[in-house]
């Protein structure tokens, strides 16, 4: 573990004289915390730990944005003083994460079990391919997703930036998730319309399960307005969204595609630690189209609903301004291919 984390921090360009802070809650991931603290020291950096009482319990994969760090100013200020924060707590979509990264501190979220960290360990090649994809994505104004199953949805683009995730960060103020391997943006407010058809084998990442029945989502002006299907999956999605009693839960969130050839779409059927995982295999696998619902604060929006569903889709095609990027689950441009 120490060796792997040392290699990860090398990718993050942790150097002598820098300060690395490790954020934890209670005793969760205590082994990771100690290994990262030592790994930073072995690279000549200073390191310290901020441990918050885990009063709220660890966050689920879907209910996000509320953290035990909220309103704890001394801890937040200490993290802002570090060059890099290893987030073992889970600040995703929170105001605290934005405040810390806006100060120039780079941040790395780590939550997967160790066997997934090893399996999906990032490479400079993955970063290059993700960044190549981002260059196309940044200038696009129309994203169109289709599938033989019936998906046909268009995103008007340009209002929000593109975010890359390749598993490490060496850029001040940049956040990443170790491991990962995809990129995304949000459609313009009220600028997403069409139909998304979820098929058996597609994943509901928050539930850590595959769909077993067809589900049809109707999207109008950036919101899911209808959820249809004959099986249990349609009821699961519908009842889950409604349980938050928040109309913003139905907003369409980010859209993008996966580029990590080390990730496996079928990982959930072979792992023995599914209850501890964060579904990064599903979100990152090569050629998936990542549709999602819920918040958009990560890219500067105002929707901070606690309900977030990632729904990575197989066998879809995606175009940017008419250029074919993903064809039925296969990456087309040479500079993005594995």
Domains in the chain, CATH or no CATH each:
2-111 (3.40.50.2300), 120-336 (no CATH)
**pLDDT for position 271:** 86
pLDDT above 70 coverage of the chain, percent: 97
**pLDDT for position 63:** 52
Predicted confidence (pLDDT) per residue in 170-206, tens digit? 999 999 999 999 999 999 999 999 999 999 999 999 9
CB–CB of 199/211 below 8 Å?
yes
Q: Which of 46-50, 188-192, 195-199, 297-301 has the lowest mean pLDDT?
A: 297-301
> Where are any strands of DSSP class E within the chain?
19-25, 46-52, 84-87, 106-110, 142-147, 152-156, 163-165, 175-178, 182-186, 192-198, 203-204, 209-210, 215-220, 223-228, 252-258, 289-293, 309-313, 316-320, 323-327, 330-331
Does the structure show a pLDDT above 50 at 228?
yes
Predicted confidence (pLDDT) per residue in 231-252, tens digit? 999 999 999 999 999 999 999 9
Q: Annotate 67-127 with DSSP letters as a single string.
A: -TTTT-HHHHHHHHHSSEEEESS--TT-HHHHHHHHTT-EEEEE-S-HHHHHHT---HHHH
For the whole model, what pTM was predicted? 0.94
Q: What is the arithmetic mean of pLDDT over 112-130?
A: 98
Q: What is the arithmetic mean of pLDDT over 91-98?
A: 90
Predicted confidence (pLDDT) per residue in 130-175, tens digit? 999 999 999 999 999 999 999 999 999 999 999 999 999 999 999 9
Predicted confidence (pLDDT) per residue in 16-30, tens digit? 999 999 999 999 999
């Amino acid at each position: 573990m120490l060796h792997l984390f040392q290699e990860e921090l090398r990718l993050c360009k942790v150097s002598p004289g820098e300060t690395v802070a490790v954020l934890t809650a209670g005793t969760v991931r205590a082994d990771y915390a100690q290994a990262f603290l030592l790994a930073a020291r072995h690279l000549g950096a200073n390191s310290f730990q901020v441990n918050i009482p885990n009063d709220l319990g660890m966050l689920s994969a879907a209910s996000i944005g509320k953290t035990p760090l909220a309103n704890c100013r001394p801890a937040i200020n200490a993290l802002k003083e570090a060059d890099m924060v290893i987030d073992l707590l889970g600040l995703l979509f929170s105001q605290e994460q934005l405040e810390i990264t806006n100060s120039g501190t780079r941040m790395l979220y780590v939550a997967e079990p160790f066997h997934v960290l090893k399996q999906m360990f990032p490479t400079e090649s993955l970063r290059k391919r993700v960044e190549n994809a981002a260059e196309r994505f940044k200038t696009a104004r129309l994203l169109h997703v289709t599938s033989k199953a019936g998906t046909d949805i268009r995103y008007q683009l340009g209002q929000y930036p593109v975010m890359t995730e390749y598993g490490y960060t060496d850029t001040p103020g940049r956040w990443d998730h170790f491991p990962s391997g995809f990129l995304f943006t949000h459609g313009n407010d009220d600028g997403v319309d069409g139909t998304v058809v979820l098929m058996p084998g597609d994943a509901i990442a928050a539930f850590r399960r595959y769909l077993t029945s067809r589900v049809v989502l109707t999207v109008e002006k950036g919101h899911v307005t209808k959820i249809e299907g004959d099986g249990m999956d349609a009821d699961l999605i519908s009842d889950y969204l409604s349980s938050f009693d928040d109309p913003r839960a139905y907003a369409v969130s980010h859209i993008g595609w996966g580029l990590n050839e080390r990730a496996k779409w079928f990982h959930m059927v072979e792992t023995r630690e599914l209850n501890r995982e964060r579904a990064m295999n599903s979100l990152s696998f090569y050629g998936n189209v990542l549709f999602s619902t819920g918040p958009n604060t990560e890219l500067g929006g105002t929707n901070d609903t606690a309900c977030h569903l990632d729904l990575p889709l197989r066998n879809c095609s995606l175009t940017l301004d008419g250029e074919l990027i993903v064809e039925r689950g296969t990456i087309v441009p040479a500079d993005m291919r594995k």
